[in-house]
């Protein structure tokens, strides 16, 4: 029972962490754009950097989700 609850808890925390991180980063970006008064060229460079960072985060999230799936499937295979 504890192992099953731990599986659901890790998946829930993983999803919650992804959503909170993305929201926090979007608010940070909006604050930098609105309050900082970034020039056009600086804004374009920051937008490119943000896009690259976002692609890296997506890749990392896919890898973590893939590894969790492999671990959970191997645990289910061991029990049956």
| Per-residue pLDDT tens over the stretch 9-65 | 887 777 777 767 777 777 777 766 666 565 555 666 777 777 778 778 878 887 887
pLDDT(76) > 80: no
Q: Could you tell me the residue range of the domain that residue 68 belongs to?
A: 2-79
**Contact 18/76 with Cβ under 8 angstroms?**
no
**Degrees, nearest 5: CA angle 45-30-48:** 20
* Total number of domains in the chain: 1
Cα–Cα distance between 33 and 23 in angstroms, integer?
Answer: 15
Q: What is the pTM of this model?
A: 0.51
């Amino acid at each position: 029972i504890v192992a099953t609850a731990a599986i659901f808890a890790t998946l829930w925390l993983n999803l919650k962490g992804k959503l909170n991180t993305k929201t926090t980063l979007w608010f940070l970006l909006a604050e930098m754009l609105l309050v900082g008064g970034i020039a056009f060229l600086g804004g374009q460079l920051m937008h490119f950097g943000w896009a690259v960072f976002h692609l890296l985060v997506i890749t990392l999230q896919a890898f973590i989700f893939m590894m969790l799936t492999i671990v959970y499937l191997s645990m289910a295979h061991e029990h049956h």
